[in-house]
Amino acid sequence: MATSTKNVNVPMNGQMQSAGRFLWHFVQMVLAMMIGMMIYHLLTGKALAAYPVLNFAGMELSMIPPMIALMRYHRYSWQRTFEMTAATLIGPAVFIVCVQLGLHNYVPGLSQKLLFMLGDVTMYLGMLGIMLYRRAEYSTGHDAHQHGEFGGVPPTCKSILIRFRMARHSTSQR
């Protein structure tokens, strides 16, 4: 019985590359967020230890600027960037409200620490959820992103920039 050693193109290759890009983008986002959190902890130290809700909120918010910077570096539009920011912050915001309302005082086995931990988990799940919802965008190389003349500037800003350019152009022709 003879076996063939012929090269076979596996159709999964494109899917594997796509999954790899998706995963790499997720890892990059998490790393950027961790850098923001490390900077926050270096700046605040134990200063907010007596205020756990404020400390948690500050930590969660400190993760957002590096994430935004990374998304803009990869030339995602402001709309996608704000969408990712919202998806990332909704979960922790809900759990901060639960802590502020004292939910952990009324539900057996629920602690403030557990609520904060769930807030962290929902942050990453929110980010992953929006990435899965728009997996075509997050699975392609960054060169494949469609960007307009102004590189993902919101439409209202685009119209202002276009008017400014037209006004400047008309005054320079006089």
Q: For position 127, what pLDDT does the model report?
A: 94
Q: For position 148, what pLDDT does the model report?
A: 45
Q: Is 152 left (phi over 0), alpha (psi -120 to 50) or beta?
A: left
The greatest distance separating any two alpha carbons of the chain, rounded to the nearest whole angstrom, comes to 85
Contact 155/79 with Cβ under 8 angstroms? no
Q: Is 78 helix (H, G, I), strand (E, B) or coil?
A: helix
Where the chain has pLDDT below 50, the residues are 8, 10, 147-150, 152-154
Neighbours of 142 (CB within 10 A): 12
pTM score, whole prediction: 0.68
Q: For position 105, what pLDDT does the model report?
A: 87
Q: For position 10, what pLDDT does the model report?
A: 47
* Close Cβ partners of 92 (under 8 Å, ≥ 6 residues apart): 56, 57, 60, 119, 120, 122, 123
Q: For position 12, what pLDDT does the model report?
A: 57
